[in-house]
Each structure stands twice: as structure tokens, then as C-alpha cells.
Amino acid sequence: MTAIETNQLRKAYGAHQVVKGIDLVIEKGEVFGFLGRNGAGKSTFINMLTGIIRPTSGTFSLLGVHGSVEKVKKRVGVMPDYSTFYESLTAFDHLKFLSALSGKPTGKQHCMAVLRSVGLDGHAHVKTSKFSFGMKKKLGIAQAIIHDPELIFLDEPTSGLDAESVLHIHKLIHDLKMRGKTIFMTSHNLDEVEKVCTRIAIMKEGKVGKIGTMEELRTFYRSTLTVTVKHSPMSKGDQHTMMEWLQSVGTDVSAADSQVTLTLDHEKKIAEVIRAFNQKKIDVYRVSVDEPSLEEIFLEE
């Protein structure tokens, strides 16, 4: 079953088109990363899906339900980038209140389990007026999952958190995925997206460009590979022969300290290079390949 499906979804304010016809299919159980520079239209797109604003044209469905967020909102959790809380209520009070508001009231044990999952169990009975920005972030995630939704929107879930808390939230996202939840998340932390997301879309000027797994995006954007081979010592004769041959299969060939670096235009040539070393009875200790990172892909898009 698809968790999210959009068909030519658009949003315009007067003559200014913010979202320019997005077709997107996200399957149930995915952790889907949604990237884009500031002003690309990400928030507007999410706001349409979550019922905050109405599309100008196009259609969408959530969890197989078409056209109305109202019919499905009890099955959806949302954590906006900036969550606002009642300063006179504790974290625990917020979860009790918000779970009741969602139509799925929950007990003390479940509230504490959710607070523990985001690292707030030690502050369960502290009023949110005393909370730091990072603590409010964690409570924002907690309120998005307190009613056990099937589809969860997380907008910048780890911005402002320390390294330990980030790892805590990454584990929570993994656990939610293992339970069959679908997570749609935005993040400016490209390393985070690369680690936790099963697929990624990059939005630019109101349109979605490429969509795919990290490997699919790398394959699309990869024009060359920089390969480094660490090997056993070779004679001067073998070195001359190998350098001549390597220059015939690659470019930018350099050698130093039992290590050769060259640029190849296809990964299949890596196997040819290893075979050539083996035929000369030169041991290959290690092969490293420099591939484009998500940051490089993002900047190119």
C-alpha cells in the first residue's frame, strides 16, 4: 500500500508558483528524505499534505485515502520544525492532553515509554517553560508519535540537538521503521539523511528532480570514479609496465609509496585493474573508491 501519493500537486500565490506539479509515490514502511534549499517549496508541499493549506490544483492521497486529511488525521503524526507548547504544562501533561485530542487517549505507562524513546523520561514532570530548544525538539517528536500513527512527518527532527541526542533520535527512527511506520522527513543534515533514509528526493524551485536510493542517485550523478589501490612493492620493470597499462584504461594516474591512484569512467574497470595486478603477482592490500556524497549530489542538483 502507498503511504503518500501525489498527482501534479501545485500551489500558487497569485502569479507566483511555489510548488509546480509534483508527482510522488512513497510506499508504506519507507523512511523518505525530502531535501531542498531554503525557498525550494518543501514546507509548502508538506503543509498541503498535512492539511494546513489547500493545493491550487492536483490531487493527493495519504494511506490510501484520497482528497481529505480529515478522514485520515488520526493515523498521521506531524512534528513541525518549530513546535509551540503550553508553558504551564509538563511534558507528561502535554502527551496526555494531545493523545486525548487525537482521539486515542493513552495511559501513564505509554506516555512514559514515548518520553523515554526521545530521551525525556528524566524531565517528564518539568514544565515546558523550563525546556531548552533541544528538549522542545524532543517533545515535538514525542507528540507526533504519542497516538501511534502509521505515517509520521518529521521536519528537521534533529536540528539543535547534541550528538548523543541525535544518535538517540536516529535509533528511534530506525525502531519506528522496523515497526512498519512510514516516515517523511526533511533535514539540512545531509549526512543524517544519507544514514537513515531508504529513499531521497531533491526539490529545486518548486519541482522534484531526482528520486532514488543513495546508490541510485550516486549512479546517476557519477561520471567518474577516483580509485586508489594499495599494493605490495613491485620491481621497476613491473612499475613501468603497470603505469603504461593503467594510463591506457584510466586518467590522472599517479603512484607513490606502494599506492596507485587513477580516475576511471566505469566501475567495471576496477575489476580489470585488480586482475592486472594479480597477473603480475603483485598483492592488492586495499582498494578505495571515492564516490559522490549526498552533499555533492545536492549541490549539483
Tell me what pLDDT residue 290 has.
81
Tell me what pLDDT residue 215 has.
79
Tell me what pLDDT residue 297 has.
67
Tell me what pLDDT residue 260 has.
92
CA–CA dist 242, 259 (Å, integer): 12
* Residuewise pLDDT in 10s, the chain (301 residues): 799 999 999 999 988 989 999 999 999 999 999 988 777 888 899 989 988 899 999 999 999 898 777 888 889 999 876 668 999 999 999 999 989 888 888 899 999 999 999 999 999 999 999 999 889 999 999 999 999 999 999 988 888 888 888 998 999 999 999 999 999 998 877 788 888 999 999 888 888 878 888 878 777 766 678 899 999 998 888 888 999 999 999 888 998 889 999 988 888 899 999 999 999 899 999 999 887 666 666 656 5
Tell me what pLDDT residue 52 has.
87
Any idea what the Cα angle at residue 224 is, between residues 258 and 207, rounded to 5°?
Answer: 145
Cell of 22: 509534483
CA–CA dist 179, 31 (Å, integer): 12
Counting DSSP H helices and E strands in the chain, the numbers are: 10, 14
114 neighbors 87 (Cβ within 8 angstroms): no
Rounded to 5 degrees, φ, ψ at 284 are -100, 115
Residues 6+ apart with CB under 8 A from 13: none
Scored b (16 or more CB within 10 A) or e, 104-114 reads eebeeebbeeb
| pLDDT (tens digit per residue) in 18-55 | 999 999 999 999 999 998 877 788 889 998 998 889 99
72 neighbors 64 (Cβ within 8 angstroms): no
Question: Three-state SS for 104?
Answer: coil
Tell me what pLDDT residue 30 has.
96
Q: In what order do the strands lie in the sheet with 251-255?
A: 251-255, 259-264, 225-231, 284-290
Q: Give CA separation, 43 vs 11, 67, 115, 171, 233, in Å.
A: 11, 19, 27, 25, 56
Could you tell me the domains of the chain? 2-212 (3.40.50.300), 223-291 (3.30.70.260)
Q: Judging by beta carbons within 10 Å of its beta carbon (0-12, 13-18, 19+), is residue 264 exposed, middle or buried?
A: buried
